[in-house]
């Protein structure tokens, strides 16, 4: 089975090529089916490998060909199959297939149907490269590849200039991170003379703590992660990325791509272990992002934007977890988050689909009667993300909080706050969308319809996963002997981690759990009171004042970036392009034209056209030369 693992990568690529080159000639949903199959088969393969993969199995390194192989740099095109990558592969291909399936329904009218699936396949391909790459450079291929696909998919409806702008923003923001990643890769190469994860891990065991090179290198990697996982300060692209089709938001901007940063940090944890200061930074950035995004989410009225900020916030939480060395926990949250966020996005997509493109929650309401199935799955998703027992979100989030409580009370408190905010904006979203009465005109209401089966089936699958995802890594308290399956599975990866954690006191754990759940429930009721009972609506953006306006305006970060970065850059560009270039023109003009002209003008006086003058000059100079020759004998 492992022998054929390359097919995991190859199938999406084939799907991409087939759809990309021939898709426009195919009829109906064929491209969709091809795309889905191209992802589903790898899922099956990965699943096969997964079941074969025992606890004692060694990581499998598959080396295909030397990619860059020169005297002082080698990078092979090779993949590494170990628990971490396997898990990621499963998430990617699994959720990927579901979303592909969903997309068949969601995108079926779109003229770029085949193109969409080819992009999706390309994305899966890149993402698989990212997680399977055995060295940083292969990871980087995937890293950039997913960035590209993100760009392509955000700008999928390319006729819209704004979408294009959002796509570019995503790509450029990612690129900023990529630069850090490249720098990190180079630093690591020059330090370890290898960029293979396994080799580096072995070398890293002999490296002192807080080696400056390692610190800088990890910092660089972290910058990469920030870009990809949309953390402060590079998070602004993610909400804008919602311009793409909803399945894209689900797949890329919720479940998979944005977790690449987490994956990177987890993958390179042995380095981060050596740089505690960087880890601290990670957690600070994470918590800041988490709270910041959550606050912004409170005042968003676009159904997808809310989810986007929620994603940013959740990612922040994961980083916090990483920052304290709870890699498994982070991975667990990645997994569960993939389930319920995909669910939520797809649900939102279903809502949008039902409402023929309406995304503003102020124009929704009372949909639970119209689209019941969607309502239910969305509800599950909401409960999961809010951390209601016993849905998967509770376990993962709780695990984070528990770890944090142990490591740092301050971080714990802030994380808790962030989690509660999650509950606030999610319930707000839920209530405003599905409860109450429909707020748009009746004419539209009549057209509301439930999504087709092809869309609903994946939703239900995801809903089930969201509900039972917690099983993957039950806390010892609940799961008993079968606790921490995921942690065990991932154990070989982190066995060297110096920050491995011990499980804390059971009572405390239950207390914390209960506290969180309780608070969430209270919040739920309060919000029910506000939004359903009182039917108070979010005010129009215009009428907002003060902090509210600031929040609704996402704290004006986009504008800030615009004024601080974009405009100056454009200004500098114009300055360079016009002023400096013409100054160069002037200088060259001075040298080539004015300078020569003035020299020429002064020399011209000798060239007065007077032949006798020339002659005398000539004779005189001959005399002088001869005298010189005579005297000096040059």
Partner 1 sequence: MLMQINHIVPIEHIITLSCILFCIGVMGVLLRRNAIIILMCIELMLNAVNILFATFSAYNGNPDGQIFVFFIMVVAAAEVAVGLALLVLIYRNTRSVDVSLLDRLKW
Partner 2 sequence: MQYIFYTLAFFAILCALFVVFEKNPVHSVLYLILTFFSIAGIYVLLNAQFLFIVQLIVYSGAIMVLFLFVLMLLNLNKDTEPQKSVIFKTAGAIAAGSFLLVLVAVLKDTQQSTELSAMTDIGLVKQLGKTLFTKFVVPFEVASILFLAAMVGSVLLGKKELY
Partner 3 sequence: MLIGLILFPLIFSLMIFILPKNLTKYATIFYSVFSLSWMGMVVKNISSWTNPFFTENYVFSSNLPSSLLLVLDGISLIPILLTQLLIALILWMLLANQKEDKSTYSLIALMHFGLNGVFLCADALGFYIFWEVTLIPIYFICAIWGEGKRMPITLKFFLYTFIGSLCMLVSFLYLYQIQPEGGNFSIANIFNVDMSATARFLVALGIFIGLAVKIPIFGFHNWQADTYTSAPFYGSMLLAGIMLKMGLYGMYRWLSPVFAGPLCCDLQWYIIILCIIGVVYGAIIAITQTDLKRILAFSSFSHVGLIAAGIMTFSHSGWQGGLLQMFVHGLNIVGLFYIVNLIEQKYGSRDLNKLGGIATQNKWLAIYGMILVLGTTALPLTNGFPGEFLLLKSMFEYQFLTALFAGTTIIWCAVYMLRLYQKVFFGEESKLVLSGDSSLSSIEHFILIIFVLGVLVLGIFPQLILGLSESTVLNYLTQK
Residue 73 interface partner, choices partner 1, partner 2, partner 3, none, CB cut-off 5-8 Å depending on type = partner 3
Which residue of 441, 507, 609, 630 would you call a contact of partner 1, by CB under 8 A? 609
Q: In three state form, how does the secondary structure of 587-603 look?
A: HHHHHHHHHHHHHHHHH
Q: Write down the least CB distance from residue 160 to partner 3, Å.
A: 8
Tell me: does residue 581 bind partner 3 (CB under 8 A): yes
Beta carbon nearer to partner 1, 518 or 620:
620
Interatomic CA distance for residues 201 and 497, integer angstroms = 10
Which residue of 588, 604, 621, 626 would you call a contact of partner 1, by CB under 8 A? 604
Interatomic CA distance for residues 523 and 519, integer angstroms = 6
User: Looking at 97-105, 420-428, 514-522, 566-574, which segment touches partner 3 (CB under 8 A)?
Assistant: 566-574
Q: Write down the least CB distance from residue 71 to partner 3, Å.
A: 4
Q: Write down the least CB distance from residue 594 to partner 2, Å.
A: 34
Q: Cis before residue 255, ω within 30 degrees of 0?
A: no
Which residue of 102, 106, 123, 151 would you call a contact of partner 3, by CB under 8 A? 151
Angle at 34 between CA 27 and CA 92, to 5 degrees: 140
Q: Write down the least CB distance from residue 452 to partner 3, Å.
A: 28
Residue 570 interface partner, choices partner 1, partner 3, partner 2, none, CB cut-off 5-8 Å depending on type = partner 3
Contact 265, 282 (CB under 8 A): yes
Interatomic CA distance for residues 203 and 193, integer angstroms = 10
Tell me: does residue 573 bind partner 3 (CB under 8 A): yes
Tell me: does residue 611 bind partner 1 (CB under 8 A): yes
Contact 331, 87 (CB under 8 A): yes
Closest CA to 326 of 404, 221, 255: 404
Tell me: does residue 621 bind partner 1 (CB under 8 A): no
Residue 581 interface partner, choices partner 3, partner 2, partner 1, none, CB cut-off 5-8 Å depending on type = partner 3
Residue 178 interface partner, choices partner 1, partner 3, partner 2, none, CB cut-off 5-8 Å depending on type = partner 3
335 to 364, contacts with partner 3 by CB under 8 A?
Answer: none
In the beta sheet, which residues pair with residue 117?
A: none
Residue 607 interface partner, choices partner 2, partner 1, partner 3, none, CB cut-off 5-8 Å depending on type = partner 1
Contact 422, 386 (CB under 8 A): yes
Beta carbon nearer to partner 3, 140 or 431:
140
Closest CA to 293 of 311, 316, 317, 309: 309
Which residue of 25, 542, 630, 634 would you call a contact of partner 2, by CB under 8 A? 630
Tell me: does residue 634 bind partner 3 (CB under 8 A): no
Which residue of 260, 324, 623, 632 would you call a contact of partner 2, by CB under 8 A? 623
3-class DSSP state of 75? strand
Q: Write down the least CB distance from residue 620 to partner 2, Å.
A: 5
Tell me: does residue 614 bind partner 2 (CB under 8 A): no
Which residue of 27, 545, 612, 634 would you call a contact of partner 2, by CB under 8 A? 612
Which residues are within 8 A (CB) of 214 and not within 5 positions of it... i.e. 6 or more apart?
191, 204, 207, 271, 274, 275
Which residues are within 8 A (CB) of 111 and not within 5 positions of it... i.e. 6 or more apart?
none
Beta carbon nearer to partner 1, 109 or 612:
612
Interatomic CA distance for residues 3 and 48, integer angstroms = 12
Closest CA to 282 of 307, 316, 233, 252: 316
3-class DSSP state of 244? coil
Tell me: does residue 622 bind partner 2 (CB under 8 A): yes
| Contact string 546-585 vs partner 1 (x = CB under 8 A) | ----------------------------------------
3-class DSSP state of 106? helix
- Output phi, psi for 62, to 5 deg: -110, 120
Interatomic CA distance for residues 30 and 19, integer angstroms = 9
- Output phi, psi for 423, to 5 deg: -60, -40
Start-to-end C-alpha separation, the chain: 87
Q: Write down the least CB distance from residue 592 to partner 2, Å.
A: 35
Tell me: does residue 627 bind partner 2 (CB under 8 A): yes
Interatomic CA distance for residues 566 and 495, integer angstroms = 45
Which residues are within 8 A (CB) of 57 and not within 5 positions of it... i.e. 6 or more apart?
none
CA atoms within 13 A on the CB side of 104: 23
Angle formed by the axes of helices 260-267 and 136-154, nearest 10°: 170
- Output phi, psi for 480, to 5 deg: 65, -130
- Sign of CA pseudo-dihedral 527, 529, 534, 535: positive
Residue 627 interface partner, choices partner 3, partner 2, partner 1, none, CB cut-off 5-8 Å depending on type = partner 2
Contact 145, 252 (CB under 8 A): no
Angle formed by the axes of helices 327-354 and 372-386, nearest 10°: 160
Residue 284 interface partner, choices partner 3, partner 1, partner 2, none, CB cut-off 5-8 Å depending on type = none
| Contact string 70-89 vs partner 3 (x = CB under 8 A) | xxxx----------------
Q: Write down the least CB distance from residue 614 to partner 2, Å.
A: 12
Which residue of 6, 67, 417, 561 would you call a contact of partner 3, by CB under 8 A? 67
173 to 192, contacts with partner 3 by CB under 8 A?
Answer: 175-176, 178-179, 182-183, 186-187, 189-190
Q: Write down the least CB distance from residue 601 to partner 2, Å.
A: 24
User: Looking at 260-268, 307-315, 409-417, 614-622, which segment touches partner 1 (CB under 8 A)?
Assistant: 614-622
Tell me: does residue 606 bind partner 2 (CB under 8 A): no
User: Looking at 300-308, 380-388, 552-560, 610-618, which segment touches partner 1 (CB under 8 A)?
Assistant: 610-618
Q: Which residues bind partner 1 (CB under 8 A)?
A: 604, 607-612, 615-616, 619
**Chain contacts with partner 3 (rule: CB under 8 A):** 24, 65-73, 137, 140-141, 143-145, 148, 151, 155, 158-161, 164-165, 167-168, 171-172, 175-176, 178-179, 182-183, 186-187, 189-190, 216, 569-570, 572-574, 576-577, 580-581, 584-585, 587-588, 592
């Amino acid at each position: 089975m492992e022998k054929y693992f390359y097919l995991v990568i190859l199938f999406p690529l084939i799907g991409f090529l087939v759809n990309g080159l021939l898709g426009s000639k195919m009829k109906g949903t064929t491209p969709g089916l091809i795309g889905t199959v191209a992802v589903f088969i790898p899922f099956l393969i990965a699943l096969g490998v997964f079941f074969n993969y025992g606890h004692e199995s060694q990581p499998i390194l598959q080396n295909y060909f030397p990619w860059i192989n020169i005297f002082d740099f080698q990078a092979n095109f090779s993949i590494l199959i170990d628990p971490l990558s396997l898990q990621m592969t499963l998430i990617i291909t699994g959720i990927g297939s579901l979303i592909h399936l969903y997309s068949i329904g969601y995108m079926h009218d779109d003229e770029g149907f085949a193109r969409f699936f080819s992009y999706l396949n390309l994305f899966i391909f890149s993402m698989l490269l990212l997680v399977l790459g055995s060295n940083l450079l292969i990871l980087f291929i995937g890293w950039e590849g997913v960035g590209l696909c993100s760009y392509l998919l955000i700008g999928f409806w390319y006729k819209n200039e704004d979408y294009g702008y959002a796509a570019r923003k995503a790509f450029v923001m990612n690129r900023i991170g990529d630069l850090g990643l490249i720098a990190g890769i180079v630093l690591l190469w020059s330090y370890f003379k290898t960029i293979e994860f396994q080799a580096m891990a072995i070398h890293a065991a002999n490296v002192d703590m807080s080696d400056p090179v390692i610190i800088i290198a990890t910092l660089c990697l972290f910058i990469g992660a920030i870009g990809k996982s949309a953390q402060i300060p590079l998070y602004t692209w993610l909400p804008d990325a919602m311009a793409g089709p909803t399945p894209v938001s689900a797949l890329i901007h919720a479940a998979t791509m944005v977790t690449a940063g987490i994956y990177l940090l987890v993958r390179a944890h042995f380095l981060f272990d050596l740089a505690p200061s960087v880890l601290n930074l990670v957690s600070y950035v994470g918590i800041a992002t988490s709270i910041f995004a959550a606050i912004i989410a409170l005042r968003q009225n676009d159904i997808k934007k809310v989810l986007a900020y929620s994603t940013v916030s959740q990612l922040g939480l994961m980083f916090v977890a990483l920052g304290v060395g709870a890699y498994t926990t982070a991975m667990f949250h990645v997994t569960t988050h993939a389930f319920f966020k995909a669910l939520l996005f797809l649900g939102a997509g279903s809502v949008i689909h039902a409402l023929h493109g309406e995304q503003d929650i102020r124009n929704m309401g009372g949909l639970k009667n119209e689209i019941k199935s969607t309502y239910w799955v969305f509800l599950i998703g909401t409960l999961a993300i809010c951390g209601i027992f016993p849905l998967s979100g509770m376990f993962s989030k709780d695990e984070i909080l528990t770890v944090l409580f142990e490591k740092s009370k301050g971080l714990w408190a802030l994380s808790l706050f962030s989690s509660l905010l999650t509950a606030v904006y999610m319930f707000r979203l839920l209530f405003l969308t599905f409860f109450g009465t429909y707020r748009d005109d009746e004419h539209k209401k009549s057209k509301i319809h439930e999504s087709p089966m092809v869309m609903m089936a994946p939703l239900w699958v995801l809903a089930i996963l969201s509900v039972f995802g917690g099983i993957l890594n039950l806390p010892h308290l609940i799961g008993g002997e079968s606790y921490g399956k995921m942690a065990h599975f991932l154990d070989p990866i982190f066995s060297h981690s110096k920050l491995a954690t011990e499980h804390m006191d059971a009572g405390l754990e239950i207390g914390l759990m209960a506290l969180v759940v309780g608070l969430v429930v209270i919040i739920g009721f309060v919000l029910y009171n506000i939004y359903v009972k009182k039917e108070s609506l979010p005010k129009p953006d215009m009428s907002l004042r003060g902090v509210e306006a600031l929040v609704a305006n996402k704290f004006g970060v986009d504008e800030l970036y615009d004024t601080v970065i974009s405009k100056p850059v454009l200004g500098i560009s114009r300055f360079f392009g016009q002023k400096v270039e013409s100054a160069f023109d002037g200088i060259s003009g001075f040298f080539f034209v004015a300078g020569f002209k003035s020299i020429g003008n002064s020399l011209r006086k000798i060239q007065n056209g007077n032949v006798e003058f020339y002659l005398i000059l000539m004779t005189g100079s001959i005399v002088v030369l001869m005298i010189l020759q005579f005297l000096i004998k040059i």
